[in-house]
């Protein structure tokens, strides 16, 4: 394949068909590194459609990295609530504070410099370096992997074939407009070379795509079968006070949902650790002593590596406020930095 011809064809298509996204600059113009960084952190394991309103909300509230660095951590976590993968939000604030206090509010313009920042790995560093600073590096996400697997008819399965697909993308990269090339590949995968029913007739590479010519494009990339996700179990304590306020607790700063508010609950365990909790054994983990009443039904949620099933019990507090806890009126529950699983528990308990 002629790399120069393919990259020129792709960039011409991008100039005409580029998606309009709030963090992007027009084709041929470097983007603001703060915008690229913020969007890339948000987009990790999250769809573009879900990220757009969050990105706009963050930018309205904290228009520069210096503004974000000065933000209160609970405000940032509350603004992030619903996006998931909350370690990203904690690292977002750490990174902003480092850029503000150590680097004078300027992001490094090299991959090595960007990788030195909290929460920035190889992919995000390459994206910022390429899109914001024009560095000659290749940005490879799931869309790009799919395009390369089909273009070159790579039939080895993911994830093992990832380095080969990155190498393929690098072979076609132009010397100039590297950021546009990366974004064009992402757009091609997101809009035409989709996982199901790819629109091959509209693709700028239709005549060169080996997967299409061999009649296997729709089946690529191949994937190694995933192991079945285990199911964990927990029990949540919905505790009300005399004035109707509900007890929320702040989770430890590290680990899953670290630093977020929660409806107090037991640890989450799988079948090898005992499976579903009985009320007698769960009551040892209750933040306050109450007379408990089970709520009918189960709350279910899926994380990246496991399913979670939560039962809920209600109780009336006789007084006290446990450490790292607060009483919140029912009317203000929607304003709290509650992750999605906890919002599900709130809705279930208030039925």
d(CA 322, CA 330): 19
Place of tokens 């380095």: 163
Catalytic residue, from 2, 17, 40, 74: name it: 40
Supply the DSSP string of 244-297, one letter for each residue: S-EEEEEPPSSSTTTT-EE--BPPPB-GGGTSSPPHHHHGGG-SS----EEEEE
d(CA 198, CA 202): 9
Task: Give, rounded to a whole angstrom, the gap between the first and last alpha carbons of the chain.
Answer: 61
* CB count in 10 Å sphere of residue 101: 11
Burial class (CB in 10 A: 0-12, 13-18, 19+), 252: exposed
d(CA 275, CA 289): 23
DSSP category for residue 160? T
d(CA 40, CA 31): 12
Helix ranges restricted to H, the chain: 3-17, 33-43, 48-61, 65-69, 73-80, 87-102, 111-115, 122-133, 142-151, 162-172, 178-191, 210-213, 279-282, 340-349
d(CA 26, CA 298): 48
Catalytic residue list contains 40: yes
Residues designated catalytic: 40
């Amino acid at each position: 394949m002629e790399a120069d011809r393919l990259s020129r064809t792709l960039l011409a298509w991008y100039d005409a068909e580029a998606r309009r996204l709030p963090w992007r600059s027009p084709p041929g113009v470097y983007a603001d590194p703060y915008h690229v960084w913020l969007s890339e952190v948000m987009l990790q394991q999250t769809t573009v459609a879900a990220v757009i309103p969050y990105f706009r909300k963050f930018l309205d509230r904290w228009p520069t990295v210096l503004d974000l660095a000065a933000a209160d951590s609970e405000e940032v976590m509350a603004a992030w609530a619903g996006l998931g993968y909350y370690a990203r939000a904690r690292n977002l604030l750490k990174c902003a504070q480092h850029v503000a206090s150590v680097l004078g509010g300027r992001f490094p313009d090299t991959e090595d410099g960007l990788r030195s920042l909290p929460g920035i790995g190889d992919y995000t560093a390459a994206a910022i370096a390429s899109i914001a600073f024009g560095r000659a590096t290749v940005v490879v996400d799931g869309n790009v992997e799919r395009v390369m697997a089909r273009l070159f008819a790579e039939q080895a399965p993911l994830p093992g074939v990832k380095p080969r697909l990155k190498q393929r993308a690098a072979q076609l990269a132009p010397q100039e407009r590297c950021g546009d090339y990366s974004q064009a590949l992402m757009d091609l995968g997101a809009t035409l070379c989709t996982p199901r029913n790819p629109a091959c007739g509209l693709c700028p590479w239709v005549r060169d795509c080996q997967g299409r010519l061999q009649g296997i494009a729709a089946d690529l990339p191949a994937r190694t079968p995933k192991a079945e996700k285990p199911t964990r179990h927990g029990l949540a304590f919905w505790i009300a006070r005399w004035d109707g306020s509900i007890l929320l607790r702040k989770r430890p700063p590290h680990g899953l949902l670290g630093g977020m508010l929660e409806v107090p609950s037991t640890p989450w365990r799988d079948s090898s650790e005992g499976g579903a909790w009985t009320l007698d054994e769960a009551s040892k983990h209750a933040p306050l002593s109450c007379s408990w009443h089970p709520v009918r039904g189960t709350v279910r949620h899926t994380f990246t590596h496991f399913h979670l099933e939560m039962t809920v019990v209600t109780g009336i507090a006789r007084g006290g406020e446990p450490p790292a806890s607060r009483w919140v009126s029912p009317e203000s529950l929607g304003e709290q930095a509650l992750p999605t699983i906890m919002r599900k528990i709130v809705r279930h308990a208030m039925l």
